[in-house]
Amino acid sequence: MKLYFASGNDHKRTEMSRLLGGYELVLPKDEGIEFDPEENGSSYIENAVIKAEALYRIVHAPVLADDSGLSVDALGGRPGIHSARYGDEEAGRKLTTEEKYQLLLRNMEGIEDRKAHFVAALCLILSDERRYIIQETCEGSIATAASGTSGFGYDPIFYIDEAGMISAELPEGEKDRYSHRGKAARLMKLLLDKETGR
């Protein structure tokens, strides 16, 4: 089954392909489709739905979208749904991934409560009337320094409670067991397998 993945992020496509196993994920750019919807929702689910609906209107074929981010308790849930754009406005440019997590570390200096969680929302649209939404979390805390070379995004500074390790220190297959996207994608795969009779 071919699924259009409402993203321009190759890292996310690689991870989601691995998690779903057996489904071909096609990015809009793979087929020359210009795709940059305004993610103006107030929640992860709303943003996932916005992306899924925008791409579905173009391709009229099965579409999967995700929205994810890191919510830090002591920062009032920030960066939250703005995780991918964290610090960009203040800097007047798009920060690199490392600049984003280093900024977060600086904003957490002197704060004892470092509890945080990753959130992933997935939206699958199969037809005008058939859609599924799944949201999952990964509980943990913000480390005091970056560590590890695996993963992407905020993984180098996120300590996963259940794994007892920094996310970026875990091999990809091991990280999938604990991650927010791993949990959500396993449930989505059950739905897809049922739809395709696997």
pLDDT in tens, 100-144: 999 999 999 999 999 999 999 999 999 999 999 999 999 999 999
Q: Which residues of the chain have pLDDT under 70?
A: none
For residue 176, indicate whether it is catalytic.
no
Give me the domain span that covers residue 90: 2-196
Q: What pTM did the predictor assign? A: 0.90
CATH number, domain of 153, equals: 3.90.950.10
Q: Name the residue among 69, 130, 79, 68 with its Cα closest to residue 105.
A: 79
Among the options 10, 66, 67, 88, which is catalytic? 67
Total tally of structural domains belonging to the chain: 1
The residues near 43 (Cβ < 8 Å, ≥ 6 apart) are: 81, 121
Match 């970056």 to its residue by tokens.
146
